[in-house]
């Protein structure tokens, strides 16, 4: 490294062979103006703004595409360089509308900024300006194509990052325009990034449009709470209201990108079903009360149940995306009361090998290392929709030549091509994985850096333990890294702080092992404590969960939002502040423990969940609670249990049998994954949100039922029937029906990979 020296603007700097001039200049903080160059995209060299003078070159050269050579002398602000840059600036501005006052990009526009330095006051161009018709490309992105300066960053983003060529440059010369060609939505789950990379106001944030000016907002660093990547975010806030979210750069995690889910979920924060006041139900009527009354009511309710039925009659469920601090105080409070039925694994169906788990489930590798692997096996992972930024790394690996393999319940479109993609009948992933294990393809056998990842659809499979032990065998045979990709943003934190029934914080076995998430719903409890859980959406068997809630004597919800059902079954709802209104830590799939601070104060009377559990503990007269004065105290207590990722060895087999007959395949779809996302209106308007509705079956199943797309079918699970419309989808295997979880219409149904009856309506 640093084997070469070049001179930029009189400063001698070290550089590496193969680097471009602009990379070296950026590192040295020498600012060269640019539009088309983006460090995470391929080089186009078409905007010509970065022209610089290079000694001995006959004409100015683009810094973005000029490789350095030893002894090179570059002048970025010499008369020749400046003249060239100013000339390009003039060309860029002749057809650009001077509508900055009404343009959403105004104030954060690269063209505006650079024209301050390189543009003239008065234009020499006095002819008609080009205008281009706008396109409706869906609910997330607003287009104003007259402002486009044809840098093609958005086109390259589609080609290289999202893997979907959704935009292109049509026509020639001055008539060039960026377009979807035929009128269509932009559907990539990473699409919002083109708003950030667009240097002008051609592509802007549609739901944010005309809401705020950049100089009115303050920005706060935070962490995305929807998946185990832990993308770094900047939250823009004006007068204590979140206005928008943009990525914060972190090359080790999300590079310069974020998923649309992380960008648009904040629109949920101000929906009418947000709870901002403590609420108690008295004589079947909800009352908004002060904290003291609500807490008193809570303690009384819980203690009544405990006195009457014992601690075992209480079940406690936490979401998979809480902070370490929330988790810690949640279990601290419950365990102090002797409640051991504590879990966060809401979707899981097989707990038989839980004692063999390492301190916490993790990916076994890092995002950056995945890019370098030469073979990847995905087992039960719809990675593209589950963890879009992890998918991005897999996509890069595939672009680098890695061979891709999968065993999935559905032939998901993951963009990259699979060497082998097994989609077993009846969702029998064990059979599929066995097949792969018995006939290991050559490309996998010969791989030197293979990675095996088990995704949510494997983790939540009724035979998850067997899948893990089979994956272990495969990993041992080919020398692969084996990793688990968990749901939620902080499953790691939940494990480490003991939000599982069989372990106390720090992997200590619990002396009184409680019941897991499934058992505590199957085995009706008299009281439930919920932390940001909406059981009728979030649990594996939603129909059963709803019934358990409805039949309980006392339900305490420490939640950010309410649901219609919750207003029926809950007795107390305490307003928990969402992720952007609290501080804390979350641990991602590669084991980074990331700290973030509240962007804005909690809305109304909401409080961070850890404070709610602290005061509840205080009211329950738990002596030691006094030591948790501040969030730092809580973290300090939790921190000693936060360990480095630990290797696991999976050998146990599941006690459950393989699913047989017609089986329901279900996943938490990308925009139904958690309470926040489910309420984000812009996301709910996307194709990704709507296309998962209905009962999806393949052609063979459809012809067996004599139904066609759009026909009504009656499906039943848990003795509950619902009517759905048919979607014929040949990505499904025989004997499977895909009916998504997390959707209101499907809440009375049962679990995934369980038998389902389907008949013509």
Partner 1 sequence: MKLNQVCFRSLEFDDPASLKTYEEKVGGYKVWRKILKEKPSPEDLIEELKKSVLRGRGGAGFPTGLKWSFMPRHLDGPKYVVCNSDESEPGTFKDRDIMRYNPHQMIEGMAIASYILGATTGYNYTRGEYWEPFQACEKAVAEARAAGLLGSNILGSGVDFELHNMIGAGAYICGEETALLESLEGKKGFPRFKPPFPANFGLYGRPTIINNTESFASVPVILEKGADWFLNVGTERSGGTKIFSVSGHVNKPGNYEVPMGTPFKDLLELAGGMLDGRKLKAVIPGGSSVPVVPADIMMETNMDYESIGKAGSMLGAGSVIVMDETTDMVKILARISEFYDEESCGQCTPCREGTGWLSRTVHKVLHGQGTPADLDLLQDVSNNMMGRTICALADAAAMPVLSFIKHFRSEFDALVKK
Q: What is the contact surface with partner 1 in residues (CB under 8 A)? A: 43-49, 51, 58-60, 62, 65, 84, 87-88, 90-92, 94-95, 124-125, 127, 149-150, 168-169, 171-176
Q: Which is nearer to partner 1, 60 or 675 (CB)?
A: 60
- What is the smallest separation between the CB atom of 173 and partner 1, expressed in angstroms? 4
Q: Which is nearer to partner 1, 10 or 401 (CB)?
A: 401
Conformational region of residue 284, where left means phi above 0, alpha means psi within -120 to 50, and beta covers everything else = left
- What is the smallest separation between the CB atom of 86 and partner 1, expressed in angstroms? 9
Q: Which is nearer to partner 1, 171 or 550 (CB)?
A: 171
DSSP state letters, 37-89: --TTS-----S-TTEEEETT-SS-EETTT-B--TT-EEESSSHHHHHHHHHHH
Q: Which is nearer to partner 1, 56 or 175 (CB)?
A: 175
- d(C-alpha 385, C-alpha 378), whole Å: 14
- What is the smallest separation between the CB atom of 36 and partner 1, expressed in angstroms? 9
- What is the smallest separation between the CB atom of 404 and partner 1, expressed in angstroms? 22
Q: Which is nearer to partner 1, 64 or 533 (CB)?
A: 64
Residue of 54, 31, 35 lying closest to 44 (CA atoms): 35
- What is the smallest separation between the CB atom of 408 and partner 1, expressed in angstroms? 32
Q: Hey, what are 531's tokens?
A: 């932390």
DSSP state letters, 459-492: HTSTTHHHHHHHHHHHHHHHT-EEEE--BSS-HH
- What is the smallest separation between the CB atom of 168 and partner 1, expressed in angstroms? 8
Query: Which helix (DSSP H) or strand (DSSP E) does residue 540 occupy?
Result: none
- What is the smallest separation between the CB atom of 92 and partner 1, expressed in angstroms? 6
Q: Which is nearer to partner 1, 94 or 212 (CB)?
A: 94
- d(C-alpha 696, C-alpha 702), whole Å: 9
Q: Which is nearer to partner 1, 92 or 754 (CB)?
A: 92
- What is the smallest separation between the CB atom of 102 and partner 1, expressed in angstroms? 23
What's the farthest any 2 CA atoms get from each other in the chain? 91
Q: Which is nearer to partner 1, 13 or 20 (CB)?
A: 20
- What is the smallest separation between the CB atom of 189 and partner 1, expressed in angstroms? 26
Q: Hey, what are 637's tokens?
A: 């207590």
Q: Which is nearer to partner 1, 58 or 272 (CB)?
A: 58
Q: Hey, what are 504's tokens?
A: 């106390």
Q: Which is nearer to partner 1, 51 or 702 (CB)?
A: 51
Burial state string for 481-513 with b = 16 or more CB within 10 A and e = fewer than 16: bbbbbbbbbbbbbbbbbbbbbbbbbebeeeeee
- What is the smallest separation between the CB atom of 96 and partner 1, expressed in angstroms? 9
- What is the smallest separation between the CB atom of 448 and partner 1, expressed in angstroms? 22
- What is the smallest separation between the CB atom of 43 and partner 1, expressed in angstroms? 7
Q: Which residues contact 191 (CB under 8 A, 6 or more apart)?
A: 138, 140, 141, 162, 166, 260
Q: Which is nearer to partner 1, 81 or 452 (CB)?
A: 81
Strands 314-318 and 285-288: unpaired
- What is the smallest separation between the CB atom of 545 and partner 1, expressed in angstroms? 53
Distances (CA, A) of 260 to 135, 235, 263, 388, 497: 20, 14, 5, 9, 30
Q: CB atoms < 10 A from the CB of 175, how many?
A: 9
Q: Which is nearer to partner 1, 171 or 512 (CB)?
A: 171
Distances (CA, A) of 346 to 257, 363, 534, 579, 674: 29, 20, 10, 19, 11
- What is the smallest separation between the CB atom of 190 and partner 1, expressed in angstroms? 23
Q: Hey, what are 365's tokens?
A: 């590798």
Q: Which is nearer to partner 1, 150 or 614 (CB)?
A: 150
CB distance 330 to 323 below 8 Å = no
Q: Which is nearer to partner 1, 87 or 431 (CB)?
A: 87
Q: Which is nearer to partner 1, 65 or 643 (CB)?
A: 65
- What is the smallest separation between the CB atom of 178 and partner 1, expressed in angstroms? 11
Q: How many CA atoms lie within 13 A of 1 on its CB side?
A: 1
- What is the smallest separation between the CB atom of 89 and partner 1, expressed in angstroms? 9
**φ, ψ at 67 (rounded to 5°):** -70, 145
- d(C-alpha 272, C-alpha 238), whole Å: 20
Q: Which is nearer to partner 1, 47 or 470 (CB)?
A: 47
Distances (CA, A) of 295 to 282, 511, 558, 755: 14, 29, 11, 43
Number of residues that this document lists for the chain: 761
Query: For the CA atoms of 101, 104, 109, 115, what is the dihedral angle to 10 degrees?
Result: -20
DSSP state letters, 297-332: HHHHHHHHHHHHH-GGGEEEEE-SS--HHHHHHHHH
Show the CA angle centred on residue 348, arms to residues 733 and 563, nearest 5°: 100
Sheet holding 4-8, edge to edge: 11-15, 4-8, 73-75, 51-54, 61-62
Q: Which is nearer to partner 1, 48 or 614 (CB)?
A: 48
Distances (CA, A) of 379 to 453, 485, 738: 6, 10, 18
Q: Hey, what are 289's tokens?
A: 């009360």
Residue of 659, 654, 656, 655 lying closest to 466 (CA atoms): 654
- What is the smallest separation between the CB atom of 90 and partner 1, expressed in angstroms? 7
Q: Which residues contact 759 (CB under 8 A, 6 or more apart)?
A: 705, 713, 714
């Amino acid at each position: 490294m640093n084997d070469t020296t070049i001179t930029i603007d009189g400063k001698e700097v070290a550089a590496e062979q193969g680097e471009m001039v602009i990379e070296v200049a950026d590192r040295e903080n020498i600012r060269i103006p640019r539009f088309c160059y983006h460090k995470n995209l391929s080089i186009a060299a078409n905007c010509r703004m970065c022209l610089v003078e290079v000694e001995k070159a006959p004409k100015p050269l683009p810094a973005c595409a000029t490789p350095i050579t030893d002894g090179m002398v570059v002048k970025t602000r010499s008369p020749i360089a400046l003249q060239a840059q100013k000339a390009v600036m003039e060309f860029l501005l002749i057809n650009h509308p001077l509508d900055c006052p009404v343009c959403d990009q105004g104030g954060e526009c690269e063209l505006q900024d650079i024209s301050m330095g390189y543009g003239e006051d008065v234009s020499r161009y006095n002819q008609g300006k080009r205008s281009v018709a706008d396109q409706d490309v869906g609910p997330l992105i607003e287009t104003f194509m007259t402002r486009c300066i044809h840098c093609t960053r958005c086109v390259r983003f589609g080609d290289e990052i999202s893997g979907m060529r959704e935009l292109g440059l049509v026509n020639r010369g001055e008539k060039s325009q960026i377009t979807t060609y035929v009128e269509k939505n932009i559907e990539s789950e990473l699409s919002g990034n083109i708003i950030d990379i667009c240097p002008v106001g051609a592509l802007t944030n549609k739901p944010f449009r005309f809401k705020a000016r950049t100089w009115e907002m303050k920005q706060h660093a935070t962490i995305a709470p929807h998946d185990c990547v832990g993308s770094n975010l900047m939250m823009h806030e004006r007068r204590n209201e979140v206005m928008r979210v943009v990525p914060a750069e972190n090359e080790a995690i999300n590079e310069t990108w974020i998923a649309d889910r992380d960008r648009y979920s904040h629109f949920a924060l101000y929906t009418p079903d947000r709870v901002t006041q403590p609420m108690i139900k008295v004589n079947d009527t909800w009352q908004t009360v002060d904290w003291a009354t609500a807490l008193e009511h809570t303690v009384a309710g819980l203690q009544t149940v405990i006195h009457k039925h014992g601690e075992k009659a209480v079940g406690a469920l936490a979401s998979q995306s809480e902070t370490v601090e929330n988790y810690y105080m949640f279990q601290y409070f419950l365990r102090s009361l002797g409640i051991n039925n504590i879990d966060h694994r809401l979707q899981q169906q097989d707990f038989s090998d839980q004692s063999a788990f390492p301190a916490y489930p993790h990916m076994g590798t890092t995002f950056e290392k995945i890019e370098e692997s030469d073979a990847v096996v995905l087992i039960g992972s719809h990675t593209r929709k589950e963890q879009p930024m992890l998918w991005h790394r897999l996509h890069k690996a595939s672009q680098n030549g890695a061979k891709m393999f999968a065993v999935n319940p559905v032939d998901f479109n993951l963009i990259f091509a699979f060497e082998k993609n097994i989609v077993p009948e009846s969702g029998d992933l064990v059979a599929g994985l066995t097949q792969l294990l018995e006939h290991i393809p050559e490309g996998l056998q010969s791989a030197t850096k293979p990675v095996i990842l088990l995704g949510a659809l494997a983790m939540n499979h009724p035979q998850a333990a067997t899948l893990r032990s089979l994956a272990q065998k495969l990993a041992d045979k080919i020398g692969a890294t084996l990793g688990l990709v968990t749901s939620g943003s902080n499953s790691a934190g939940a494990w480490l702080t003991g939000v599982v029934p069989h372990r106390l914080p720090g992997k200590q076995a619990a002396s009184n092992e409680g019941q897991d998430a499934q058992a505590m719903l199957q085995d009706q409890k008299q009281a439930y404590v919920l932390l940001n859980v909406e059981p009728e959406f979030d649990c594996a068997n939603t129909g059963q969960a709803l019934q358990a809630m409805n039949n309980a004597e006392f339900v305490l919800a420490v939640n950010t939002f309410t649901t219609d059902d919750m207003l029926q079954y809950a007795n107390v709802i305490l307003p928990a502040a969402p992720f952007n209104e609290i501080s804390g830590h979350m641990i991602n799939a590669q084991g980074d423990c990331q700290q973030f601070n509240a962007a804005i104060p909690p809305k109304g009377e909401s409080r961070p969940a850890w404070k709610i559990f602290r005061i509840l503990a205080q009211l329950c007269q738990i002596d030691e609670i006094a030591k948790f004065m501040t969030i730092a105290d809580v973290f300090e207590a939790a921190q000693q249990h936060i360990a480095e990722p630990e290797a696991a060895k999976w050998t146990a087999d599941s006690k459950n049998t393989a699913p047989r007959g017609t089986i329901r395949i279900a996943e938490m779809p990308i925009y139904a994954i958690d309470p926040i996302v489910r309420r984000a209106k812009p996301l709910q308007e996307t194709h990704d949100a709507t296309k998962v509705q209905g009962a999806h079956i393949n052609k063979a199943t459809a012809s067996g039922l004599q139904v066609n797309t759009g026909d009504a079918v009656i499906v039943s699970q848990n003795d509950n029937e619902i009517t759905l419309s048919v979607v014929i989808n040949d990505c499904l295997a025989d004997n499977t029906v895909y009916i998504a979880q997390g959707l209101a219409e499907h809440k009375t149904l049962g679990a995934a990979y369980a038998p389902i009856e389907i008949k013509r309506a």
